[in-house]
Amino acid sequence: MKVLEFYGSRSEDYLRLSFNGAFNPQTALERELEPFLQALEEYADGWMPDVVNGSRQRKYSPASVWRALEERRSERTSGLGLYRTAWPALDMSLSLSFPPLLPPEVGIIIKVKPLSFFAEADRCRKFVEMVRVWASRYLVAHAMAHSSDDGELAGSPNFGRDDETEYRDGFDKIYEVFWLNVFGPKLVETVGRERMLSTPAHRAEELPNGSILLVTWPTAADFATKEARLAQARTHAHLRPDLDFDAILRALHERSARLAPVEPRFHPDLAPLLSRVVDRAASHERQRRIAELNAWQPPEPEEWRPADSALPPDVEDMDRAREHLSTLAEHLVALLHSEVPSVLEATPESLTDADFYFWREEFPKSRLREVIDEHAVPAIGAYLGEVLVRNLGGRWIPRRRLEETQVLVGNRVWLPFVRARNYMRSRQSLLDCSLTHLYRVAERHR
């Protein structure tokens, strides 16, 4: 069974449920967790887990769940993971804590990707029904389900408080309202039961144990629309009359604006590279990153001279000098070929692949500076020069000092080793002084 990878190279918004409720330790565990599994199987519409992961992976069944919990059980805790082998992707965990060392608690985290899967009202209604069953059986202080990206911008789970304050106070007041909310009796008492039940939300329901379930909008995926934000703001302001409605709504619209799609308009030389760079950004930060890179322009390369001012060769054996340069380039191939197979071809595209690799690895600060200067810079410079020679009809002009070594292309000579030194100064310089950009400029001046 191959589980779908939830955290791939490109993050994406997803629906996240956070639920921690008390269970009765006097009841047999299988009986106590039976409502959990029954509700999951009844209401998980299209995202039901099919893999249980305890000490090993098994096909989902209640028996597999009990076996996994038994395998992972200690004096204090037990837990397991639940996943899917087909779209949509699921990352779900069930954790248990046991007395007397810990309070008896069931913890449930559900992450379903993509969030757009919850654009259907009926599927969202079933999700809410599932949580209603759980919250009726396992008393919570607070539970919520919402867009992960918007939750990140809201500052959950600490809501802008430091860890010490959050640990001391817990969810002591309503700091934020999400798409789906379950407020335990203590929070209900703080707000007032009648006030909470009269909330102008899509759904406000009192549960048998005194908790109240609130849903702001029919569908989770539409949280950022003007209508859904208005409903969210009205709910929040109703529950917190000490807060200003306009300020709440303004903050919500600001979050929506930060998540609104931005069309990439990258510098054409670097569009393939920058598209991969933004894909590495956290999904809640990606649109801001696109806007930043739309506005950014790479500096024009300075590592060149007019051909008529080129320094002449000062080596005794030209063939041996060119062989040495080829060997240096092979050092880069040896370093990167497993991670960047295209370097075997020495094409312009391989420069973009190398640019992205060095940026992704934060190479200038993740490796020792002396290793970079003594080994990486010469290898990168030689490889860049070889790509200029092979693809643009360039010609090496060797010099004893590598930084003076040139490649003649058209009416310019390029200084690939100077470029490599500038390139390896910092992570930002990998973009400012990319190998790809120098190549494209040299191509235009061929």
Residue 166's CB is within 10 A of a number of other CB atoms, namely: 16
Query: What are the tens digits of pLDDT across the range 123-134?
Result: 999 999 999 999
The lowest-confidence range among 25-29, 81-85, 259-263 is: 25-29
Residues 184-202: what's their mean pLDDT? Answer: 97
- Mean per-residue pLDDT, 139-147: 97
Task: Name the 3-class secondary structure at 111.
Answer: strand
pLDDT(173) > 90: no
Q: What is the pLDDT of residue 159?
A: 44
More confident residue, 158 or 228: 228
In this model, does residue 11 exceed pLDDT 60?
yes
Measure Cα distances from 317 to 49, 75, 147, 399, 431 in Å. Answer: 68, 75, 65, 11, 36
pLDDT digits over 403-415, tens only? 999 999 999 999 9
Residue 161's pLDDT band, with cuts at 50, 70 and 90, is very low
Which ranges of 4-54 would DSSP assign to H, the alpha helix? Answer: 29-43
Are 16 and 150 spatial neighbours (Cβ–Cβ below 8 Å)?
Answer: no
Dist CA 216 CA 220 (whole Å)? 9
What does pLDDT average to over the chain?
95
Reported as a single tens digit per residue, the pLDDT across 28-59 is 999 999 999 999 999 999 999 999 999 999 99
Average pLDDT over residues 167-183: 82
pLDDT tens figures, 335-374: 999 999 999 999 999 999 999 999 999 999 999 999 999 9
pLDDT tens track for 291-327: 999 999 999 999 999 999 999 999 999 999 999 999 9
Q: What is the mean pLDDT of residues 261-282?
A: 97
Helix (H), strand (E) counts: the chain: 19, 15
405 neighbors 399 (Cβ within 8 angstroms): yes
Residue 171 confidence (pLDDT) = 64
Q: What pLDDT score was predicted for residue 282? A: 95
Please state whether the predicted TM-score (pTM) of the whole model is above 0.85.
Answer: yes
